[in-house]
Structure 1
């Protein structure tokens, strides 16, 4: 068993502090074991949402490996090591994992929210990682949870890995509800923003992301100030 590094706390959300290589070693181990292991790439949006929503925070606490999906999360925990920040920015872990699935011809099931997303994702994998066998795809609505249909589709496809590109908290809640009945080795939750269709963000989306990151930094500063005041008062 690989012992992971300590968790870092960002707005009271525990995130595994490890390099892409360490995370990949752990993932390979998960692929050789049952039942399903859960990996989540979390974004600034998810962390902010979870800091206000105890239910989502609990869902994230049940995850085996929680990885930062944006470098701002590491910066929020005062991690300044250039290589570490670069790995997150360049999505090194995700690329390594997709290469690994491609090389070993693993069967993957995709969970998305729209037809358009499904098409874009499928095309992306075909073009760059053609060794991955897409065993199936299903649309998961953030509001209407038709879990039975999705779980039956995944289990019927003899899937090695489920890749979920869904919004928070739908993504995390789905795996918490269905973890015990899902026949797959690994669940990788990458969030809606990691779907290739969103890589070329519109000006509006970039603006929203910029504002969210500003709010996130402000929240981090507020929390630090509060902690310092508490420490001073304690002495």
Structure 2
């Protein structure tokens, strides 16, 4: 049985990168889209009182911790799991798998700036990644409720014959998008990364590291208070 932890009533699978990869490869061989979410500490903090967001996360086929702080707050003592999560090993392995097997990626982001950052992060992870299309969804402009706009993005994704959609949209936008359009999307895998994809590079900045330390303290306090 897969061990899970519950943070703010969000169930997250605590499995090694190899086991997660086996599931992901199985998804890539399926006939319909399967969904993977790397839940970030920031998303949990931001949406922990949002029952609709929690429900949509629970509908994903595989929910994994996107940052080691989540496991630490849950007092997980598996050193290997902590190390793999901190190293983003599953994400690295999955991107390598996509590159090695010539699978195509379609990117979704909340701004052109975030799209550029995501493309740069992908190149750092693996320069052979095939990005065949991208789209920007501006959540502050209410574009997720613009049926024509979203229909056009879904058509563009399907027309690109992408094998995987990689989302760096913020929560709850990325969960809303896949919940609304899952039946219409013709890809094998949706992976919602939120800020996880770019975070390892942003954390090199001193200001980002200090901010994250403060967020971590608040996060651990809230988790302990919940428990």
- The two structures have a TM-score, normalised by structure 1, of 0.87
User: What is the Cα-based RMSD across aligned positions, in Å?
Assistant: 1.9
- Give the deviation of 1:134 after TM superposition: 1.0
Distance in structure 1 (CA, Å) of the matches to 2:199 and 2:215: 20
Q: Residue 65 of structure 2 is aligned with which of 51, 64, 68?
A: 68
Q: Which runs of 5+ in 1 are unaligned?
A: 225-235
User: Is residue 107–residue 132 contact of structure 1 (8 Å, CA) maintained in 2?
Assistant: yes
Q: Which residue of 2 aligns with 1:6?
A: 3
Would you say 1:42 and 2:39 are equivalent positions?
Answer: yes
Q: Which residue of 1 aligns with 2:48?
A: 51
Q: Residue 158 of structure 1 is aligned with which of 156, 161, 171?
A: 161
Q: Which residue of 2 aligns with 1:105?
A: 102
Call closer, same or farther: CA 1:46–1:119 in 2, change over 3 Å.
closer
Call closer, same or farther: CA 1:6–1:101 in 2, change over 3 Å.
same
User: Is residue 14–residue 66 contact of structure 1 (8 Å, CA) maintained in 2?
Assistant: yes
Distance in structure 1 (CA, Å) of the matches to 2:207 and 2:95: 29
Would you say 1:82 and 2:79 are equivalent positions?
Answer: yes
Would you say 1:215 and 2:218 are equivalent positions?
Answer: yes
- Give the deviation of 1:104 after TM superposition: 0.3
Q: Which residue of 1 aligns with 2:133?
A: 136
Q: Which has the larger radius of gyration?
A: 1
Q: Which residue of 2 aligns with 1:195?
A: 198
Q: Which residue of 2 aligns with 1:206?
A: 209
Q: Which residue of 2 aligns with 1:22?
A: 19
Call closer, same or farther: CA 1:142–1:201 in 2, change over 3 Å.
farther
Distance in structure 2 (CA, Å) of the matches to 1:190 and 1:179: 17
- Give the deviation of 1:11 after TM superposition: 1.9
Distance in structure 1 (CA, Å) of the matches to 2:2 and 2:207: 37
Q: Which runs of 5+ in 2 are unaligned?
A: none
Would you say 1:148 and 2:139 are equivalent positions?
Answer: no
- Give the deviation of 1:58 after TM superposition: 0.7
Q: Which residue of 2 aligns with 1:169?
A: 172
Instruction: Return 16-25 or 196-205, whichever deviates more.
Output: 196-205
Which structure would you say has the larger RCO, counting Cα contacts within 8 Å and 6 or more residues apart? 2
Distance in structure 2 (CA, Å) of the matches to 1:197 and 1:213: 15
Distance in structure 1 (CA, Å) of the matches to 2:88 and 2:113: 23
User: Is residue 107–residue 165 contact of structure 2 (8 Å, CA) maintained in 1?
Assistant: yes
- The two structures have a TM-score, normalised by structure 2, of 0.90
- Give the deviation of 1:195 after TM superposition: 2.8
